[in-house]
Structure 1
Amino acid sequence: MPKNKFFLRRPFPYTYRRYALLLILINFCVFGIRFVYPNIAEYVHYYGAMNPILVEQYHMYWQFFTYMFVHQNIQHVFFNMLALLVFGLGFEKAVGSREFLLFYLICGALSGFFSFLVYRFTGQTMVFLLGASGAVYAVLFAYAVFFPRSVIFIWGLIPVPAPVLVFIYALIELGSQFFGNGSNVAHMTHLFGFFAAWLYFVIRMGIHPVKIWKETYKR
């Protein structure tokens, strides 16, 4: 991270403690509690997931953070945590564990907050937003910024450069949001994860992702 006296860009001392693994463990533990003790699953969902009415009228502002630790089913938590494992550890090693954790929590919270604004002003007040996808998409974006020449193999066969994968996912999420069949997947929150990551890089790190990608592929 560039050195800067501006307090928002003041770097943390570098440490690498594998916080990505800790986040994965916490997510599986929360899901396990809901699975093992189904009688409290409803309470975890009600108080942990993000609902516009509960946030606005009952001031449950913690839901902007807790929603990203609550998942619907085993497939939901498994694939989110698999992506966090694949992309999170590399990004964490590059920036340090404290920076990684701050990035993850802020981007996840911003994804939830932006989703709240859209839900609130479009009248979707009965929705419950849950899952780490917003934060995980932000981590994917960050991985593509720090490792722009990295290649990810889709289905283990198709090589795709990390920045191109971000672009493809953005197109898919945009198409699914506006032309989808009304599934329960929060495509909008995924896009907000990308946007939150971009804001974090520009404001906190003084990095312009698009410039990095352009310079990388000019060489």
Structure 2
Amino acid sequence: MSLVLILILAVTCIVSFIAFKNRQVMDDLILWPPAVARKREYYRLLTYGLVHADGTHLFFNMLTLFFFGRAMAPVYNASMGIFGFGLFYLGGLLVSILPTYLKNRNNSNYYSLGASGAVSAVLFGYILFAPWSQILVLVIPMPAIIYAVLYTAYSIYMDRRGQDHVNHSAHLWGAAYGVVFTIVMNPRVLPHFLAALSQPHF
């Protein structure tokens, strides 16, 4: 397994557990847009991904990252070197949160946290390579491409409702980033994906 993936998992878990018990750590790392806009604390555009709302939030993000990161880390490392996956992941954190930050940069009541945007990038990158592979969604097996469609539709719907305090926008932008980045990095993946879609198997 990629050393960079292990480091991401370990650091995220350690920092999240520390932040669960230390409110100051949480406050210093979470995305609070005015701190970026007024205090130039740009690091928050990345460190928000190191802290999570609770153990369940952390568990599902890291579990997803573990399983799909193992498959995708070699792909990005092969194209960009030993730190390729790490660069891709950091890009996912940044790109997925920028629209949220720009929309709320003067909103002192807005906060966002969690690695979900970057994890979505990894997952959707994987789906380009294996759209019909079976994945478990809350113990229900389904083809990855079907999950991608349902996930996107749900995120769009919930983002428009905006009533559950979850940053669905980050999920969507992270997924889009994962698809675009992966295709730009390896253009051959697009015809591979289209060909795979034409040959469904369950």
TM-score by length of 1: 0.80
Give the structure 1 partner of residue 90 of structure 2: 105
Q: Is the aligned partner of 1:160 residue 2:137?
A: no
Give the structure 2 partner of residue 52 of structure 1: 33
- Name the CA shift for 1:155/1:198 in 2 (closer, same or farther; >3 Å): closer
Q: Secondary structure at the match of 1:153?
A: strand
Matches within 5 A, 1:178-189: 178-179=160-161, 182-189=163-170
Q: Provide Cα deviations, 1:151-185, integer angstroms capped at 9, x if missing partner.
A: 113343x43221221111001111111135x1121
TM-score by length of 2: 0.86
Q: Which amino acid aligns with 2:45?
A: F
Matches within 5 A, 1:2-13: none
1:199 CA drift (Å)? 3.1
Q: Is the aligned partner of 1:34 residue 2:15?
A: no
Give the structure 2 partner of residue 139 of structure 1: 122
- Name the CA shift for 1:70/1:17 in 2 (closer, same or farther; >3 Å): same
**Deviating 4+ runs (over 4 angstroms):** none
**Whole-Å Cα distance in 2 between the matches of residues 207 and 55 of structure 1?**
38
CA RMSD, aligned part only?
2.0
Give the structure 2 partner of residue 117 of structure 1: 102
Give the structure 2 partner of residue 215 of structure 1: 195
Q: Secondary structure at the match of 1:56?
A: helix
After superposing the two structures, state which structure 1 stretch, 57-66 or 142-151, moved more: 142-151
Answer yes or no: is the 8 Å Cα contact 2:100–2:169 preserved in 1: yes
Q: Which amino acid aligns with 1:57?
A: R
**Whole-Å Cα distance in 1 between the matches of residues 52 and 138 of structure 2?**
24
Q: Secondary structure at the match of 1:64?
A: helix
**Whole-Å Cα distance in 1 between the matches of residues 53 and 136 of structure 2?**
27
Give the structure 2 partner of residue 10 of structure 1: none
Give the structure 2 partner of residue 43 of structure 1: 24
Q: Secondary structure at the match of 2:136?
A: strand
Q: Provide Cα deviations, 1:62-92, integer angstroms capped at 9, x if missing partner.
A: 1111110011111111111011112111111
**Whole-Å Cα distance in 2 between the matches of residues 132 and 95 of structure 1?**
19
Q: Which runs of 5+ in 2 are unaligned?
A: none
1:208 CA drift (Å)? 6.4
1:21 CA drift (Å)? 2.3
Q: Provide Cα deviations, 1:173-219, integer angstroms capped at 9, x if missing partner.
A: 11111135x1121111111111222332344444665x543221224
Answer yes or no: is the 8 Å Cα contact 1:31–1:70 preserved in 2: yes
- Name the CA shift for 1:60/1:205 in 2 (closer, same or farther; >3 Å): farther
Answer yes or no: is the 8 Å Cα contact 1:80–1:133 preserved in 2: yes
**Whole-Å Cα distance in 1 between the matches of residues 60 and 112 of structure 2?**
17
